[in-house]
Structure 1
Amino acid sequence: MKETGVDAPLIELRQVSKRYDDGPPAVDDLSLSVERGEAVAILGPSGSGKSTVLNMIAGLDRPTAGSVLVEGLRVDGLGESGSAKYRRDRIGMVFQFFNLLDDLTVADNVMLPAQLSGMPRARARARAAELLETLGIDRHAHAYPGRLSGGERQRVAVARALINRPALLLADEPTGALDTASGRDVRELLSELNQDGQTILLVTHDIQLAESCATRTIRLVDGRIASDSAVPSVAGPAGGAR
């Protein structure tokens, strides 16, 4: 099911709730929207519902009530194959622990989503090389992830997430497993990507990450929005190709 509209938000959650078993709701009647070009950080303590929100936007979980739309697509109405295609074609995902395949080279890790989407190998290789150069890790193209630092592996993960030029980049605690210097590098990278026009939604405990690369912060408490505010110190996206 798809709803169209030129001015529609990129992400729209409408009165979304999520319950697990008989406990209190993980997300409670939550509505929010994210426009193209925003970098939104969702903050909150453990159990606040932020990872549940991200998983529902990614199509990895379904709401108990309400609707989740991305680019007008009813994500919560997709079946298993539709959800897989949606994640492959429309979004990129970055995880706390990288989720790279250790038996593939850096270049092959980055190329994998493109090949799964049917991109010809030569074109996928060229796109991967472009991203690795842009992200400053092209010298590691033929290395294996286990030989890289945490910050370098996260850059590989970002390159992999961007290979299919997704409308939306989702990041789950992207600096959570990194040391201070590597975390700073990843914060700068996400900020640069957003300034180049990439829409980003991230969940994090890292206040520095939110303040340095988000244009807007949303705080969740008990599955509800406690605050939603712009981050004035971050310049808005400049637009441009990814």
Structure 2
Amino acid sequence: MPRFAPTFSGMTEPEVLIEFDDVTKQYEGGVAALAGLSVRVRRGEALAVLGPSGSGKSTLLNMVAGLDRPTGGTVTVDGVRVDRLSESASAQYRRRRIGMVFQFFNLLDDLSVLDNVLLPAQLSGTGRAAARKRADELLDRLGVARHAKAFPGRLSGGERQRVAVARALMNRPPLLLADEPTGALDTASGQDVRRLLTELNRDGQTLLVVTHDLALAESCATRTISLVDGRLAQGVAA
């Protein structure tokens, strides 16, 4: 696979890309999804977050994406206090700074592969010519250019996840979030996606991966943490 250019521009940007400072999330009934969590992710890292169901992994991911707000503490991503953003500012933040890859791809079945990949650029107001050039480049690099005119339903699971990654990278986000990206794939396709994420990180892309897949964490993560009841597991450095 051709190498990807890093998504960061140089020494002027902060070393820490994500910072959780004493973050709590309390739901009705007293259930704490996060309980005083402090975590830092450096630019260029690939952090895998492990833990059983209900440990707070999804809440952490949603906080980083600006889809949920903490009850206490602060969440800062790429210099932005995400916990303070309005709904409209959160949407703008996601378009500019976050790429997201989901377990079940979340591609639009009535759009072609190419149009799915172009969608983030259209939402951010990128010109058609520049967006098309970027989309063609990504589809080629990710090995799915031959499917540009096809609809997602005609692709294998591994191919659909590659299209989803291309869409997530369309606006050159400094951070790529992956929520169980191999969870819906067979063994061979899962290995393919693990190799892809490893390659992306090697070329400078910061990754935050929430997963139950130990093989994914071992292969693509530069650091792994485990959550238990909304806290870092004992002995795990943040």
The answer to whether structure 1 residue 137 and structure 2 residue 144 are counterparts is: yes
Shift in CA distance, 221/142, structure 1 to aligned 2, threshold 3 Å:
same
Structure 2 residue aligned with 1:75:
82
* 8 Å Cα contact 2:15/2:43 also seen in 1: no
SS in 2 for 1:131: helix
The answer to whether structure 1 residue 228 and structure 2 residue 236 are counterparts is: yes
The answer to whether structure 1 residue 95 and structure 2 residue 99 are counterparts is: no
The answer to whether structure 1 residue 34 and structure 2 residue 51 are counterparts is: no
The answer to whether structure 1 residue 22 and structure 2 residue 23 are counterparts is: no
- Match among 205, 211, 216 for residue 223 of structure 2: 216
Structure 1 residue aligned with 2:9:
none
Greater length-normalized contact order (CA 8 Å, ≥ 6 residues apart): 2
- Match among 55, 58, 71 for residue 64 of structure 1: 71
- What is the distance in 2 between the residues matched to 1:184 and 1:139? 21
The answer to whether structure 1 residue 177 and structure 2 residue 187 are counterparts is: no
SS in 1 for 2:126: coil
Shift in CA distance, 7/80, structure 1 to aligned 2, threshold 3 Å:
closer
- What is the distance in 1 between the residues matched to 2:89 and 2:29? 29
Q: By how many angstroms is 1:24 displaced?
A: 2.5
- Match among 101, 114, 117 for residue 107 of structure 1: 114
Could you list the runs of 5+ residues in structure 1 that have no partner in the other structure?
Answer: 231-242
- What is the distance in 2 between the residues matched to 1:136 and 1:8? 32
Q: By how many angstroms is 1:229 displaced?
A: 5.9
Single out whichever of 18-27 and 63-72 deviates more from structure 2.
Answer: 18-27
Report sequence identity in percent: 72
Q: By how many angstroms is 1:122 displaced?
A: 1.3
* 8 Å Cα contact 2:33/2:56 also seen in 1: yes
SS in 2 for 1:182: helix
- Match among 172, 175, 188 for residue 168 of structure 1: 175
* 8 Å Cα contact 1:14/1:32 also seen in 2: yes
Q: Partner letter of residue 49 of structure 2? A: I
Match runs of 1:1-20 below 5 Å:
6-20=13-27
SS in 1 for 2:16: coil
Q: Deviations over 1:42-87 (max 9, x none)?
A: 0000000011000000000000000100011000100010000000
Q: Deviations over 1:119-170 (max 9, x none)?
A: 0111111100000000001000000000000000000000000000000000
SS in 2 for 1:99: coil
Could you list the runs of 5+ residues in structure 2 that have no partner in the other structure?
Answer: 1-11
Structure 2 residue aligned with 1:186:
193
Aligned residues: CA RMSD: 1.2
- What is the distance in 2 between the residues matched to 1:21 and 1:229? 30
The TM-score with structure 2 as length reference comes to: 0.93
Equivalences, count:
226
The TM-score with structure 1 as length reference comes to: 0.91
